[in-house]
Every structure is written in C-alpha cells, then in structure tokens.
Chain A
Amino acid sequence: MAEFLFENRIWDPAETLPRNELQALQVHRLRDCVARLANVPFYRKAFAEGNVTADRIRSLDDLKRLPLTTKADLREHYPLGFLATPRSEIVRIHGSTGTTGKPTFVAYTRDDLALWANLCARFLVAGGLRPDHMVHIAFGYGLFTGGFGLHYGAELVGAAIVPAAAGNTERQIVLINDLQADVLVCTPSYALNIAEMMRAQGYTPDKIPLKFAHFGGEPWTEDMRLEIERQMGLLAFNNYGLSEVIGPGVSGECVVRNGMHIQEDHFLVECIDPDTLEPVPYGEPGELVLTALTKQAMPILRYRTRDIARLDPTPCPCGRTGIRMGRVIGRSDDMLIIRGANVFPSQIEEALLRVEGTAPHYLIEVDRPGTLDEVTVRVELRPERFSDKMSQMHGLREDIERQIHVVAGIRANVELVAPQTLERFIGKAKRVVDHRKEKGLI
C-alpha cells in the first residue's frame, strides 16, 4: 500500500468502479441521455441530420456521431433553449459570469442538485475534507456555480460551513482566525491576496488555522500551489468544472495530487485539437470536450470547454478509476499568438514563480507597434528583493526575462513596478491587455 499524505477516504464507491463496468455504465447512460435530448430542438435537428437515435448508440465509439456543442450554440438558444425537462421541474438557475458577452444560463432539477452535491462531496473528501471540519467559502455566491457547488458538497459531507462569499479580505481573515477554519475554498488568485494580507498582518503559517484548501474557477500553476502552501501552511487541492457541464465537480484531485480524476460515471471526456477537432494522443495538450450524461434539466453533448489540458489514463494509487486530467494550462480563447507562437498567460506565471522573489502579481501587455508583436510583463517587485545596487536590479529583471523565454519560448520586456500598484482581483484575475485587439490588428 502506498504511503499517503493523509488517510485516503473514498466518499462514493462509484469512484472505484472497474473500468469495464464503468464503460458499460457510460454506454447505457449515453443512450439514455440521447433519448432525453430528443426533446431539445438543437439536438433533435442534429440527430435528424446525422441519422442518430438512442437505440443506435451501441458503444462509446458512437459518441463521434453526436454533435459538438459550443458556447455560441448556448447563446443562440438564450435563455433556456437547451432545457430537456418541463420548466416546472427546475429548482435552480446558475450561469456563466458573462465576462465575454451575454451570460449563459444553466438549469437544475432537484435530482441535478443532489447529483452535484454528491460530485463535489467526492472531490472534497478526496482532498481531505472530514465531517468535523470548518469550511470557509470565499467564492462568490450567485449565478457563479463555485460558491453553491462547494457549499452543498461540504454540507453533504457533514462539515460546518462559513459562507463568507468573496470580497472584504480583512473580514475574511478575521473569520478564518476567529472561527478556526480548517479548509479554505476560493480562487487561487484570491487565496494569494488573503495570504499576502495575512503576512502583512504578521501571521506566520503556524498561526494560520487552515489545513486544507480547495481551489478552482481559474487556471493556476504548480508553483503557485507551493507558494500558497508555504505562505499559509496548508495542503492545496485543485478541482475543475464549468457551469455549462454542471459547475465544480467534473473532476478533482485525490491525496496523490497528480492530476484530477474525472467523474467518468457522469461525464464523458474527449481531448481534441481545437483546430482540426481530431482527438489528440494521451499526454498531449488538447481542448477538453465534455458530455454530461446524467443531468436532467440540461444534459449537454460534447461541450467544447475551450480549456486546454492533458489526459493521463494510467491507474492511480488511490484506487479511483476515473481518468486524470492535468491542470488547465490555458483557454483556447486566452491563448495569445505572439509572433506565431502559442503562449498561455499561465506560462508567464510559471516563469515568474520560478524566479525566487517575484510576487505573482503581474500584467501582460501585448502590442504591435510596427510589424512585430511585443510583449511587456509588468511584475510587482517584492521589497525583500530590492537592492540599492543597479546591477542586482537588472539581474533580477534579466532572470525573469530568461525564465519567460525558457517556459513560454518568447522574448518579453519585463518591467518591475512598485508593490501593490497592479490591480487586485477578488474573483477571476484579468492578466492580459492586448492592445492589438483595440487597434483591430487581430
């Protein structure tokens, strides 16, 4: 038996279904899902064009015959054109934040909410949650699925929840300390804000009561995990989901922390090249495409997530049989094309964290003053890295530029700026300003 960081508890026996049983269940559920989706005009039309009926689904290979669904399709059927149940069965609406246009809504029946809570409970328990824990949730509560998803998941496990919601960092710190919270739930960038303020207030990691953290809602890096863990003295876990598919609960890390187990008894996953739409081999980065098999109100077929990640089919020592996905390394939308090279903001972040002493507060500016793209990365200087010697300051800047070149393969100009001068974010951080877009160059 492998040595684990803590006891490897499994919330739901379905997480360890042998692969052959799991696949049989998936085929059965896919057939059932296609039958229910015949009520949805978008799918009814696509099924008719592709000559697809539920009884023709015999194996997972038949998935290829089903249509892809995109964000644009959801917008086109705004607000609730993808409903597969009567409106009267809906008990909840959530939605995307609408940062890239009109929001999109998703609906849940009572059974959907129960499923969602169970899926969140699975990854929370996999990442150390126990019924006697106090869970501090600093996610937004609202249309965004993060707050409610983890709230009901933690409640199902039997933990005590502090629904602090996002914002007012000073109050968050008071609550965490006064109530002695064991678990922190928020976006990783907000966790860094909290950690920074805690440090400014003189809290050392041994004085912070938190033991575990569950982060999601935005891409982050392994170095960022180490940074947060070092500053707060806790173990941080990654989880993944998106409102169109269900919200958080699509996948999450186990005690092994080497990828997130996709809850494949409820979601089918494909990993494709965003341009050719062909599957990429295991281990190669590609766009995740997810099918929500068991949702009632709004099942979705082959949803193009725009999230780029790798899949790892090797068995995990924890015993869960769901395939593991790596960190989301970027969004196919956020992907910057710099002089022809694909660059993700997460790569810049990884480079910054490799240079000891640069705080992970940064802003990437892309411009094309003449014919060539130019990238400027503004990085907040950490006071302890300041030197009265110009040579050391230049050395620090050059170190960062070198790491960006190593990690992202591009030459960037690094500008050191004073601490606390870049904008702070409570939810998802905005790290890129692309002047080429304003100028209509791309």
Chain B
Amino acid sequence: MKIHQLSLFLENKPGQLTAPCRDLADAGIDIRTLSLADTQQFGILRLIVSDWKRGYELLRDKGYVVKDTEVVAIEVPDRPGGLLEVLKVFEKSAVNIEYMYAFTFGRGDKAVLIFRFDDPDAAIALLNSAGINVVGSVEVYNR
C-alpha cells in the first residue's frame, strides 16, 4: 500500500519553512510527519499530510514547487535489530532505498517509518513475502 508524500523546494533563507506550514494550517490540513533535507543553498521538505490531494493543489496554486511522490510506510519493531530486519529484506534485491524517515507516533512496541524506494511496487512485494507489515494509507493520514 503506497502513500502519497508531498515534496517542496525551499530556498535556504529565513521564512521559507514558515510559509507552507502556515498555508497548510490555514486550510486545516494536518502534517502527519515531515523530513527536511537541506544544503547550503536549498532544501527539500518532504511532508505526509492528512489530505494530500488538497494539500498538493493548495501548495501548487500558491506558487510552490511541489511534487507528489509515492512512498511506503512500514512497521518496524521498536527494539534493537528491528530496523535491521526490514533492511535485510532489500539487501540482496535490486530495490534501492532513496531515503527514509520516521513517524513521531508508534503503535505499541512498533515504530512506523517512511521509505522512498526507486521501485515501490517491487519493495512492497518483497515486504509482503517477508511478512512485514506495510501500513495502509487510511491509518497514516487519519491517525
């Protein structure tokens, strides 16, 4: 089950992060989790929001450079070696992990991580055959 991530191009100057957060807040769209990749010159803000379609259209219409990307949310046991078990699934496969980041919430003894794969469908197939739980979009957006 793939979920939608919004990516935003931000220039590295004051106020760049505030503006899109305010625009989302004003529209009543909740940010579920985020990750910021930054360089000296620019940053890429990656967002999982409660209503990605509305969020995408809102940000695009406001003039942001925004892109919709499919990512995968995976349940990872919250104990030593938990993440390793997931990573091992891809070790010998042709699927690459581009980047990953975590949700702030967990589920009991489990953490939820967002993975950006070059081939999300192949990744999901591998996860399913390894019996690792892929978190559904409804749970991610509406939690």
- Does chain B have a CB within 8 A of A20? no
- Does chain A have a CB within 8 A of B5? yes
Segment 1-50 of B: residues with Cβ below 8 Å from A: 5, 7, 9-11, 37, 39, 41-42, 44, 46
0/1 string, B114-142, CB within 8 A of A gives 1:
00100000000000000000000000000
Segment 415-439 of A: residues with Cβ below 8 Å from B: 415-421
CA–CA, A51 and B39, complex, Å: 68
Q: Is the CB of A381 within 8 A of B65?
A: yes
Chain B residues touching A, majority SS: strand
CA–CA, A421 and B16, complex, Å: 13
A420-B63 in contact given A389-B98, A390-B37 (Cβ < 8 Å): yes
Interface size grouping (class) on chain B:
20 to 34
Q: Which residues of A contact B7 (CB under 8 A)?
A: 386-388
* A418 CB contact (under 8 Å) in B5, B11, B37: B11
Q: Is the CB of B44 within 8 A of A393?
A: yes
A interface residues (Cβ-Cβ under 8 A, vs B) = 381, 383, 386-391, 393-394, 415-421
Q: Which residues of B contact A419 (CB under 8 A)?
A: 63, 65
B interface residues (Cβ-Cβ under 8 A, vs A) = 5, 7, 9-11, 37, 39, 41-42, 44, 46, 63-67, 69, 98-99, 116
Q: Which residues of A contact B63 (CB under 8 A)?
A: 419-420
The smallest C-beta distance from B65 to any residue of chain A, in angstroms, reads: 5
Supply 23 A–B pairs (Cβ within 8 Å), ascending by A. A381-B9, A381-B65, A386-B7, A386-B65, A386-B66, A388-B5, A388-B7, A388-B44, A388-B69, A388-B116, A389-B98, A389-B99, A390-B37, A390-B39, A394-B39, A415-B41, A416-B9, A417-B11, A418-B11, A418-B64, A419-B63, A420-B63, A421-B11
Closest 8 CB pairs of A and B: A388-B7, A386-B65, A383-B65, A388-B69, A415-B41, A386-B9, A390-B37, A386-B67
Of A388, A394, A418, A420, most buried by chain B (CB within 10 Å of CB) is A388
Nearest neighbor of A397 in chain B, beta-carbon distance: B41
A416-B42 in contact given A386-B65, A421-B11 (Cβ < 8 Å): yes
